[in-house]
């Protein structure tokens, strides 16, 4: 391992003066117990895991670790594994239900791949998100039997879109699912699904990430990646209760918050953020009551999963970018160890009863491993082995790793506790300021107050000055009321009191790097004061000046300036057990209830359903004798081509197709691929039935407009005067259209949905199209 690449990201950032404009709390932060000096050591072990690991969850009741794995986007290698967290032995792996995968020429089968996972010990179940099938599933912890899933092979509109993570709330009998645009609640008993839209006005894709529950406050904390915010959800009402913005050390770079952890004893929130291009990656710390930013702890290049051991005030953060886990001493606010879990892609963490941490990654640990949980993409049958074949390509199955580590914390009880003694100064009107009588040299200074309200009965805005203005900041602070910088640099910080007049402020210790203070002036034994003033920063405020005196004590016990890198010892892999079957139900059968043997194109309709070209209606019908409109035709063509990856433009290519049209992406793709040009007036007319002549043109262009010599005669009702006569002749020549028994094609009639299924089926068998589609 290259140690130099890690050391660049292990030093805690100094809180900038511009960060001092803190929003006040409506609660008084309780006095903290004395923080003795701590020494922390880490011991780690590593072994082979399963392919494509995403998340881990722990059963406190059974002392078992559960891990999801989905290898490749097709999910032909996927399982949930039950693991002994102490030995890292895999005790059971599940044969997940098979589902239809892909569309058109790229259609096949895959497992209902496992991504997110959570344990419900009260009901003895495991909840799994099946991200790529827009569904969730529930399994029995003991037998791995599938108990429930909302997956529907014919669902045209999923109940849950792109589910990512799941968390269990037994108090409210709910599971909460994060994903695209929403957070969903699912009743643990009835499985009723409700959605809560997150930022519905947003014009970008909203993606909710790994949440956590604060049972004390009755809140669900949900990081939202695109806006760089944390959304607060009231668990009693399942409604939005507020949000706060995640701090960015580099305000010009994206933040991408990904995970949340809470320490009630320290009254702190920890947010992991992936950042971008190595910027803003790490953990930011906030006051639990006010959500005010306190400090940054940079780590790695894409900080992702995060958990905390509240009992020992430890925080663990996974770095997806470089492959490591950071160990943070939350009491000291510093990164103390960096556990090497691989070269990259450390994804998720789980905490066991004994305080040990289990990490899963997606980096290659072992190549070409034999697994029992592989599926044949073409047939949907189990295919154990060390390779998986997808659309003719043989792919090696590679496994990731489990890393387990334990942290030993030793406390120096001989440390001087006098600095923790607190005092309170009371103003004539009852307003108070509380702080420590002896401040620790070099450590942030924390003060709190009560009774600071304006004449209108709202929270005051206070300015803080050290030594009656004898210390100036190097960069002016900002007034939180109007967002403007305060020209007077003797104002060292600004804090806004809550509605009841209480507040908490964290001020960086004055140093030559952040102020005009010198080291000698603020050395141990020197005496200083901080004055909090109100009256001029908020309208109709009460004029107050409360001064708190304190002495600078000795600095905290010295700690390493760089986190110690921990290399795990290797543990022999203990093998994969036999596959445990989860269900006998078949989730791959597609059957439209109005498609029976009396329908002339019964088989062709069945084919388009099985290959995902047609979704039908939500009532399970195909409606074969209805017209197919031009919007749906675009969807058929897009899916027939294998639903290629495509990002639709922000501006529509057609003036009558808005970007929120149900088939906007498909219509835009059809235009980009040169399959449609629309009308000369710039319209596409998506709601009009498609005529049989235009349909022929679509198929011909989709095949790549092949060279073709038109025969003298094709259909008797098609002549050179018809605009698409060549394309219609090509359709007949290639057996895609047979016309009617009287040798007519009827180019200007509307195309019916049953005939469209026949055209699609025959077209898919055309070798020319298949060659074009695979380019």
Query: In percent, how much of the chain has pLDDT > 70?
Result: 92
Quickly count: other Cβ atoms within 10 Å of residue 191's Cβ: 14
**Residues spanned by CATH 2.130.10.10 within the chain?**
200-365
Q: Global pTM? A: 0.77
* Overall average pLDDT of the 110-122 stretch: 97
What's the mean per-residue pLDDT of the chain?
89
Token pair of 484 as six digits: 């403007």
In words, the CATH class of domain 418-555 is mainly beta
Cα-based distances in Å from 442 to 207, 552, 565: 39, 9, 25
- Measured in degrees and rounded to the nearest 5, phi and psi for residue 106 equal -110, 20
> How confident is the model at residue 556, as a pLDDT?
59
Element (H, E) at 635: helix 630-640
pLDDT tens for 39-48 read 899 999 999 9
The full DSSP string for 677-703 is: ---TTS---TTSBPBHHHHHHHHHHHT
Residue 515 has pLDDT above 50, yes or no: yes
> How confident is the model at residue 206, as a pLDDT?
95
* Overall average pLDDT of the 368-392 stretch: 93
pLDDT tens for 414-449 read 444 434 688 999 999 999 999 999 998 888 899 999
CB crowding 13-51: b at 16 or more within 10 Å, else e? eebbbebbbbbbbebbbeeeeebbbbebebebbbbbbbb
| Residue 393 pLDDT level (bands cut at 50, 70, 90) | confident
Residue reference for tokens 């030559």: 512
> How confident is the model at residue 559, as a pLDDT?
43
CATH superfamily of 200-365: YVTN repeat-like/Quinoprotein amine dehydrogenase (2.130.10.10)
Residue 767 has pLDDT above 60, yes or no: no
Q: Is 660 helix (H, G, I), strand (E, B) or coil?
A: coil
Between residues 13 and 146, the one the model is more confident about? 146
Residue 379 C-alpha from the chain's centroid: 32
| Residue 555 pLDDT level (bands cut at 50, 70, 90) | confident
- Measured in degrees and rounded to the nearest 5, phi and psi for residue 664 equal -60, -50
* Overall average pLDDT of the 663-686 stretch: 95
Cα-based distances in Å from 736 to 635, 694, 719, 762: 19, 14, 19, 5
> How confident is the model at residue 10, as a pLDDT?
30
Cα-based distances in Å from 594 to 156, 591, 621, 704: 16, 9, 5, 34
Under a CB-based contact definition with an 8 Å cutoff, are residues 508 and 477 in contact? no
Residue 207 has pLDDT above 80, yes or no: yes
Whole-number CA gyration radius for the chain = 32
Residue reference for tokens 């399942």: 238
| Residue 731 pLDDT level (bands cut at 50, 70, 90) | very high
> How confident is the model at residue 499, as a pLDDT?
87
Residue 94 has pLDDT above 70, yes or no: yes
**Residues spanned by CATH 2.60.40.10 within the chain?**
418-555
Under a CB-based contact definition with an 8 Å cutoff, are residues 452 and 544 in contact? yes
* Overall average pLDDT of the 501-513 stretch: 91
| Residue 13 pLDDT level (bands cut at 50, 70, 90) | very low
Between residues 553 and 61, the one the model is more confident about? 61
pLDDT tens for 293-352 read 999 999 999 999 999 999 999 999 999 999 999 999 999 899 999 999 987 899 999 999
Residue reference for tokens 């770079």: 253
pLDDT tens for 449-485 read 999 999 999 999 999 999 999 999 998 888 877 778 8
> How confident is the model at residue 37, as a pLDDT?
66
Between residues 411 and 133, the one the model is more confident about? 133
> How confident is the model at residue 421, as a pLDDT?
81
Torsion on CA atoms 184, 186, 191, 192, rounded to nearest 10: -60
Element (H, E) at 564: strand 564-566
> How confident is the model at residue 481, as a pLDDT?
75
> How confident is the model at residue 557, as a pLDDT?
52
């Amino acid at each position: 391992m290259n140690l130099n690449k890690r050391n660049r990201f292990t030093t805690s950032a100094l809180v900038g003066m511009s960060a001092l404009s803190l929003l006040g709390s409506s609660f008084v932060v309780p006095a903290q117990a004395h923080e003795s000096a701590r020494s922390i050591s880490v011991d780690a072990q590593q072994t082979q895991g399963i392919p494509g690991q995403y998340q881990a969850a722990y059963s406190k009741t059974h002392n078992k670790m559960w891990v999801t794995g989905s290898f490749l986007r097709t999910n032909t290698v996927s399982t949930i594994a039950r693991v002994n967290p102490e030995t890292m032995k895999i005790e059971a792996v599940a044969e997940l239900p098979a589902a239809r995968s892909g569309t058109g020429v790229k259609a096949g089968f895959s497992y209902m791949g496992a991504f997110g996972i959570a344990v419900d010990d009260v009901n003895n179940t495991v909840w799994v998100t099946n991200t790529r099938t827009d569904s969730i599933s529930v399994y029995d912890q003991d037998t791995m039997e599938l108990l429930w899933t909302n997956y529907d092979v014919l669902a045209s509109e999923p109940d849950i879109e792109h589910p990512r993570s799941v968390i269990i709330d037994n108090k409210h009998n709910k599971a909460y699912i994060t994903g695209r645009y929403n957070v969903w609640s699912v009743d643990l008993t009835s499985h009723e699904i409700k959605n809560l839209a997150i930022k519905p006005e947003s014009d970008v894709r909203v993606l909710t990430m790994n949440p956590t529950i604060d049972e004390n406050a009755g809140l669900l904390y949900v990081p939202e990646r695109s806006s760089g915010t944390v959304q607060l959800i009231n668990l009693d009402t399942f409604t939005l209760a507020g949000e706060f913005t995640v701090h960015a050390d580099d305000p010009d770079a994206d933040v991408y918050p990904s995970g949340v952890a809470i320490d009630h004893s320290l009254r702190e929130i920890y947010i992991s953020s992936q950042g971008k291009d190595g910027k803003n990656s790490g953990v930011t710390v906030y006051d639990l009551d006010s959500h005010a930013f306190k400090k940054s702890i940079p780590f790695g290049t894409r900080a992702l999963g995060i958990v905390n051991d509240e009992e020992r005030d430890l925080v663990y953060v996974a770095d997806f970018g470089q492959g490591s886990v950071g160990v943070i001493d939350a009491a000291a606010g510093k990164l103390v160890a960096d556990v090497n879990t691989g070269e990259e892609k450390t994804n998720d963490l789980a905490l066991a009863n004994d305080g040990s941490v289990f990490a899963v990654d997606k980096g290659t640990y072992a190549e070409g491993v034999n697994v029992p949980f592989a599926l044949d993409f073409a047939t949907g049958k189990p295919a154990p082995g060390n390779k998986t074949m997808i659309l003719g390509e043989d792919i090696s199955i590679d496994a990731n790793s489990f890393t387990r580590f334990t942290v030993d914390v030793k406390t120096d009880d001989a440390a001087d506790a006098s600095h923790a003694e607190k005092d309170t100064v009371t103003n004539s009107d009852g307003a108070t300021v509380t702080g420590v009588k002896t401040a620790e040299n070099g450590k942030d200074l924390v003060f709190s107050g009560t009774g600071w309200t304006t004449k209108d009965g709202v929270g005051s805005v206070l300015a803080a000055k050290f030594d009656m203005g004898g210390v100036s900041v190097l960069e002016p602070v900002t007034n939180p009321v109007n967002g403007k910088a305060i020209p007077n640099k003797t104002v060292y910080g600004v804090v806004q009191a809550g509605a009841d007049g209480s507040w908490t402020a964290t001020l960086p210790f004055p140093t030559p790097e952040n102020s005009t203070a010198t080291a000698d002036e603020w050395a141990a034994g020197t005496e200083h004061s901080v004055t909090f003033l109100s009256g001029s920063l908020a309208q109709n405020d009460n004029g107050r000046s409360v001064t708190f005196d304190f002495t600078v004590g000795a600095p905290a016990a010295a700690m390493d300036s760089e986190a110690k890198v921990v290399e795990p010892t290797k543990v022999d892999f203990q093998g994969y057990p036999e596959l445990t079957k989860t269900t006998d139900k078949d989730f791959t059968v597609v059957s439209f209830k109005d498609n029976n043997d009396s329908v002339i194109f019964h088989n062709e309709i069945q084919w388009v359903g099985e290959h995902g070209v047609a979704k039908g209606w939500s009532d399970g019908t195909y409606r074969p004798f209805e017209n197919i409109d031009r919007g749906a035709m675009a969807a058929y063509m897009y899916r027939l081509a294998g639903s290629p990856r495509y990002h639709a433009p922000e501006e529509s290519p057609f003036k009558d197709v808005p970007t929120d049209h149900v088939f906007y992406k498909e219509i835009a793709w059809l235009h980009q691929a040169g399959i449609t040009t629309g009308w000369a007036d710039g319209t596409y007319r998506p709601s009009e039935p498609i005529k049989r002549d235009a349909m022929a043109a679509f198929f011909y262009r989709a095949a790549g407009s092949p060279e073709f010599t038109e025969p003298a005669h094709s259909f008797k009702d098609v002549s050179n005067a018809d605009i698409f006569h060549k394309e219609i002749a090509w359709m007949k020549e290639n057996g895609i259209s047979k016309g009617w028994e009287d040798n007519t094609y009827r180019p200007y009639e509307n195309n019916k949905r049953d005939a469209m299924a026949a055209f699609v089926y025959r077209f898919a068998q055309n070798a020319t199209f298949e060659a074009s589609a695979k380019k």
